[in-house]
Amino acid sequence: MRYLPALVALIVATSFAEAQQLAFNPGFEEVDDAGWAAGWEIWPDTLAAGSVLALDENMPHTGRASLRISQTNPVAYSRAEQEIAVEPDASYLFHVWVKGEELLPGDGSQGARLYVAKPTGDTATRRQEGTFGWKQIRLGPVEMKGASRITLMFYLHRATGTVWVDDIEMVKVTPDLEHELEQEKVYELLNKGIDQVRTEAEILGDADAQAALDAIAERAKGTELPSDVDHRAGPPYYPLHAEVFGVMAALNREYSGAAGPVAAWVSDPFEPMGALQTVPAEREMTAGCLMGLDERDQCRVNLSNIGDAPVDVQISVDGLDGDGAPTITLREMCCIDPGGGGLKPDPLPLLDEVGGVRTITLPPGRLGGVWLDISSAGAAAGTYATTVRIAPDGGDEMRVPVSIEVLPLRMPEEKPITTWGYSYEYYWILPEVWHLAAPDLAAHHIDAYCWPSRYVPFPELDDDGNLQTLDWTTFEAGVASHPPMRWLLLWPGFEWQGNLELRLGLEPGSAEWKRVARLWFRALVDGLDERGFGTDRVAWYLTDEAISYGKAKATVQTGAILNEVSPESLVMSNPYPAAPWDLLRQMDPVVNLWCPSLSFTDPEHLEFFREGSDILWTYQVLGKGSDPFAQHRLSFWDCWQKGLTGQGFWCYADAHGSNWDPRDEGRGDYSPVYEGDEREMIPSLRWEAWREGVEDYTYLWMLRQRMQQDAGTPQVRETARELIEQLPGQVLASGTPEALTDARRRVLETLVALGE
């Protein structure tokens, strides 16, 4: 019995139906004298060979006909579009019904999509592909952000096959509709929890738990659920939600064998889990870590309330044995909603003493945990022991012995892989907390910074057309406020027409534009060098994610001038899989630092990028829903295996409103840190996994360096060679925390055997 998806759809559909339809001829029912859909334009005027864009009376979703787009050429692009006047301060919601048959995306394909183009930023649905029956997809709400007109289009881009389109809907988001959309999100949260616990109940064959979940779903029908919840406190968020967690607690109470009221167990710090987590029947109760000098490591103790009432759990740690011992900072592992209804552990706020005790409060059924943030800064090599004591109210104290082994190894201060996180000091709350963010970035090995056009001194000409002295004031202020950086990714933003015109209104590519561009680039290169940023420290990030021909053209135009003026300068481009081969080849002559997305480093593309790069980097877009182990830490093993020497991620500062609330500003949050502590940027599992990944990469590099320097005995060097050749592939093939932990131990122990 899965009531809620249909209920949610009914709620929004009712409000949607009551709103005013703004798209003209949305069902393609009205036709002009030529038999074409009135109000819709065909692009291009002459379709590619093998392409058809027509009305299809044999395949309507409703009414008389649908729109059919068919293509046999994998590089063809066909679309139907109309312009619509909008209110600049409004938001709009779009729906469309689509049906697909053998939709096969080609190279650089955007596929079949509903697309809204506007001067203040475009947006689109996800790419549709394959064969599927009629289904409705949604776009929005889409904020106009000052736009007064939009172009609404449906297209088939660089793909073969057929897509049918019908019943396009566009409505203004009214307060009532906005409220219903909020209810939809809250119901989604409840529904995902019910489905997750139901799956576990079905596995266990527990009919009572399934009946309890059915009863919760039934009572949710027609119920107004709270949407203004305390995200900082974590789930469950309202009474019905708490009942779902209560069923999870009952299952864990019945089948885990734990004495209660709280179950505790040790896992890898980055093992994926959810807030509604099954307690394992066999629970590890010892923890340990292996680390070098001046390093940070971590241990994690999971806690789950298997009782039927909230429980306060007191946490303490015995003093470490031995002189020169590492230090331990206790943190609480909290759960959040990353968006989309899933719940997972991520924030790691400090676990402070209140009244002389450290307490974690756990509602029934929710996963929580203790995070040991271990630092060997200033510590001596050796083995140290301590015990974590867990004392739940109404239960017996549980003890977790912890062993910390510090090896006589020290990583180089400058890491062998460059990393950056698009940490704009003017984004989000960073202007107010930059004094916390700057050291936090350095502590997580960020040594490169992307600086957009606000830091770039653009040219000014005198009356005779001579280039005036560039104003470096903003640039120099940025240098003063940032931690020491190894690399500067300088992003003039040439994808924007004004910047491409050098803010002088010059026609790009014209003789005068080229003259001024040469003078300006020469002054920039010289000025950067004078300020300590030689050509070996600056990556010219001319356009961002150049996957369109317009961006590629801008990259080639500006990159060619820069290559001419300063051949030793590095021109960077960061495409992702939507970039077609001809576009990549168009940019290749001017690009000598390829930085494709990690998903774009398949063998064929990787070979192309490597041939055209003096340096090869990568990047990822990593939201709150990303996997700390697989997408953050393990990605550095992938970088090592592929010979990539830099990795960035979007984005340290891209949060909207509060990073604790995924929905407060209508956009998802990406930042791996949380606000709310005047002492620090609150870290996350994702952020700590990133730091660990950099350190994994560094230890692999150290092992290779020492092997090549003929350190140690021939037998140990042979062991090191085998590890370098085999371990990364084995870790990636396994994809498990256990395999990585074992591999890292072998690397560190071999490093010790090789000696300094």
Structural tokens at position 80: 């139907």
Task: Answer yes or no: are the C-beta atoms of 26 and 16 closer than 8 Å.
Answer: no
Q: Scanning the structure block, which residue is given the tokens 């058809």?
A: 52
Task: Answer yes or no: are the C-beta atoms of 79 and 155 closer than 8 Å.
Answer: yes
Percent of all residues in the chain with a pLDDT value above 90, rounded to a whole number: 76
Strand partners, 165: 67, 98
Determine the average pLDDT of the residues in 171-189: 88
Q: How many CB atoms lie within 10 A of CB 91?
A: 18
Q: Scanning the structure block, which residue is given the tokens 């950067």?
A: 528
pLDDT tens digits, 30-45: 999 888 989 999 998 8
pLDDT tens digits, 76-124: 899 999 999 999 999 999 999 999 999 988 766 788 999 998 887 788 8
Q: How far apart are CA 162 and CA 102, in angstroms?
A: 7
pLDDT tens digits, 334-343: 999 988 767 9
Q: How far apart are CA 451 and CA 386, in angstroms?
A: 45
In sequence order, what DSSP letters do the residues of 88-101 get, joined into one string? TT-EEEEEEEEEEE
pLDDT tens digits, 441-495: 999 999 999 999 999 999 999 999 999 999 999 999 999 999 999 999 999 999 8
Confidence of residue 420 (pLDDT cuts 50, 70, 90): very high
Q: What is the pLDDT of residue 655?
A: 75
Q: What is the pLDDT of residue 227?
A: 83
Determine the average pLDDT of the residues in 341-347: 89
Q: Is 429 left (phi over 0), alpha (psi -120 to 50) or beta?
A: alpha
In sequence order, what DSSP letters do the residues of 514-572 get, joined into one string? HHHHHHHHHHHHHHHHHTT--TTTEEEE-SSS--SHHHHHHHHHHHHHHHHH-TTSEEE
Contacts (Cβ under 8 Å, ≥6 apart) of 545:
551, 574, 575, 576
Q: What is the pLDDT of residue 203?
A: 93
* Average pLDDT, rounded, for the chain: 92
Q: What is the pLDDT of residue 13?
A: 52
Task: Answer yes or no: are the C-beta atoms of 652 and 673 closer than 8 Å.
Answer: yes
Q: Scanning the structure block, which residue is given the tokens 């971590």?
A: 298
Examine the pLDDT at 579 and tell me if it is beyond 50. yes
Q: Which phi and psi angles does 125 have, rounded to 5°? A: -75, 170
Q: How far apart are CA 163 and CA 66, in angstroms?
A: 10
Q: How far apart are CA 561 and CA 465, in angstroms?
A: 19
Q: How far apart are CA 344 and CA 342, in angstroms?
A: 7
Q: Is 175 exposed, middle or buried (0-12, 13-18, 19+ CB in 10 A)?
A: exposed
pLDDT tens digits, 209-251: 999 999 999 999 888 988 888 889 999 999 999 999 999 999 9
Structural tokens at position 564: 């001419």
Task: Answer yes or no: are the C-beta atoms of 349 and 331 closer than 8 Å.
Answer: yes
- Put simply, whether the predicted model's pTM sits higher than 0.75 gets the answer yes
426, 755, 756 from 707: Cα distances, Å: 44, 10, 11
